[in-house]
Structure 1
């Protein structure tokens, strides 16, 4: 933050204002949720009061600052717009009114999602991880906010929004390029797959490298993003600090599927960088049958919606109430696959596409880093 800006306690800038409502059975209630990392608010589908049941609801108003208590530490912070006026939030979405004579609400919301803001919020979110890390509302006065004059706050926000719009447009164009790349891979796969569909069990098999957990030993973790987003590394879990007795170790060519979120595309091939990482028993691993499927070819089609979208068929239920996707259900799905020789031919055609994908991944990483960098400069007083 700029050394010239005074710091003010957050407790002096906001006041808690909750508006409990009586839930009536035949009325309709549309609730909100907040994305992490300062990505705003989303609207849930409307529900009747009968569906809401005995859950407490609170009215939202335009201008409300929301600090989602279970994920504030991860940037689940947002400002209600006109679109949220009249919607509802659960007890996890406390609403605050910002002291407008001293602070421009969008300035405050942006600051709280910066690295400096989140470091302070993390200190008042006791607990270990995830939903155990609940924001201590009584400790909000411990957060200090750099506060330039109101006109400067507005100027900074306007500049942030201008640059953020350019970042969003670049991200949109990158997404279009990614969709075109995926369409090429799927069309080429379809052209080469002229055989009758067969169960996946004819191409891959369940194969797990289960490792017994030893107390005091670190086990670097991996997770799987939904919608074909791939695997990512996570901090190690220390043996003795988990209820699991064993982890599944990742190996070259392993296809990893989340039993809990497989239905929304949480499956991926293991990249070399995550070999020997570990996943919980809720993540099942499969390997290719060498005479029917090449791991490199499978890695090209697994991230496509053509492939991961089929997992919905292997999982009963709706939305978050779906059952786990069991290996036997997954392996019963039928696909047409090219012969091994055609898979090798396809890999040659995919080579140029893979280079484009690599550039897209690099640009995505750069784009993800741009907005935090913009915010960092803004609240240091360095944004022109």
Structure 2
């Protein structure tokens, strides 16, 4: 039935006072919920009236409801405020559980219904509160709502527990790797990157009718990724360079942010733009994954940042000369390879934890579709 039959608008106007501080709410996209957006004194708001929210209120962002900006106020936001861009509604308790609304706000059917009622121009596609209340809502009896909500809550609790367990595993793995690294490098000599893993470029002769697999590097040590394929005839001034397995691939404009990683077998034969450097380890002296681990460590990343002069984001370009001068610890090759095997085991443990969490991540949307429609 229509949402307006089982929920009603509620407004709790507040006249902002200069000496008071207010917690302002926001509503995240795609059902991610209501959150505290900012804390401001009354002097910093131009609004003559704000509206207080309370736990179990359903709140929408009129502009972004079409992107799933819907949510139910959690207990820790009691007394927070929002502008008139955040209409508030309250469930009629004899017909509708607030927790049912909470889960409905996370369903694709709710987002699509809001999108269908949002009209405007220049990005101002506001939904009108009266039209929002016309959205049809699946509404079984309260006892059935309670049963389905209990099932969804149980899955969510498992998901939270699994994520916490994965975070604990990650912390333990990181500590174990750091301890092992300190042990094998404690008395190790140092060597210049330019001596053990010099920058090596492999220019690609671009053919107009050829297709090239291009890679990029994520910041904060999150690895390489493959970009959409490139056709040779789409390139003008760009230059391409070949990537091979085992290369340390470095974004020269984001290296200071940890945007570098070792190319795996799946990356062999891909290309990188002129913005990507490849450092190739001497197989008789250094293991590339060992070098990468050091450069991603606080000490190593500080050296990469020092080799990337500049002060503002894209102006911090990695100097090849300074990068080559970075000194890295160099224990015996057998010790480096042992550490690489340890890294591989850690990676497998992380992937197993992520796969287990991913199963629950997929289960929850499936249950929401079952309850509220696809």
- The normalised TM-score by structure 1 is 0.65
Aligned twin of 1:137: 127
Instruction: Using the TM superposition, give the Cα deviation of residue 96 of structure 1 relative to its aligned residue in structure 2, in angstroms.
Output: 1.7
Aligned length: 352
- 1:115 aligns to 2:105 (yes or no): no
SS, match of residue 144 in structure 1:
coil
The counterpart of 2:164, out of the listed 144, 150, 172, is: 172
Aligned twin of 2:16: 22
Q: Which has the larger radius of gyration?
A: 2
Q: 1:23 to 1:268 in 2, by over 3 A?
A: farther
The counterpart of 1:182, out of the listed 151, 174, 181, is: 174
Aligned twin of 2:75: 82
Q: What's the Cα RMSD here?
A: 5.4
- The normalised TM-score by structure 2 is 0.66
Cα deviation digits, residues 161-214 of structure 1 (max 9, x gap): 13321221122112211221222222222223355889988868698999x9x9
Structure 1 regions of 5+ residues with no counterpart?
1-6, 239-244
- 1:352 aligns to 2:345 (yes or no): yes
Question: What does residue range 360-375 of structure 1 map to in structure 2 within 5 Å?
Answer: 360-375=353-368
Aligned twin of 1:290: 281
For residues 163 and 49 of structure 1, the distance between their equivalents in structure 2, rounded to whole angstroms, comes to 41
Instruction: Using the TM superposition, give the Cα deviation of residue 336 of structure 1 relative to its aligned residue in structure 2, in angstroms.
Output: 4.6
SS, match of residue 327 in structure 1:
coil
Instruction: Using the TM superposition, give the Cα deviation of residue 363 of structure 1 relative to its aligned residue in structure 2, in angstroms.
Output: 1.6
Cα deviation digits, residues 59-82 of structure 1 (max 9, x gap): 441132223456545544321133
Q: Is the 8 A contact 1:185 1:300 kept in 2?
A: no
SS, match of residue 378 in structure 1:
helix
Q: 1:43 to 1:141 in 2, by over 3 A?
A: closer
For residues 77 and 304 of structure 1, the distance between their equivalents in structure 2, rounded to whole angstroms, comes to 40
Aligned twin of 1:103: 96
Structure 2 regions of 5+ residues with no counterpart?
232-236
For residues 78 and 185 of structure 1, the distance between their equivalents in structure 2, rounded to whole angstroms, comes to 41
SS, match of residue 158 in structure 2:
helix
Question: What does residue range 197-346 of structure 1 map to in structure 2 within 5 Å?
Answer: 224=218, 253=247, 255=249, 285-291=276-282, 294-297=287-290, 326-328=316-318, 336-339=328-331, 341=333, 342-346=335-339
Cα deviation digits, residues 44-98 of structure 1 (max 9, x gap): 5634455x4647884441132223456545544321133112223456x613213
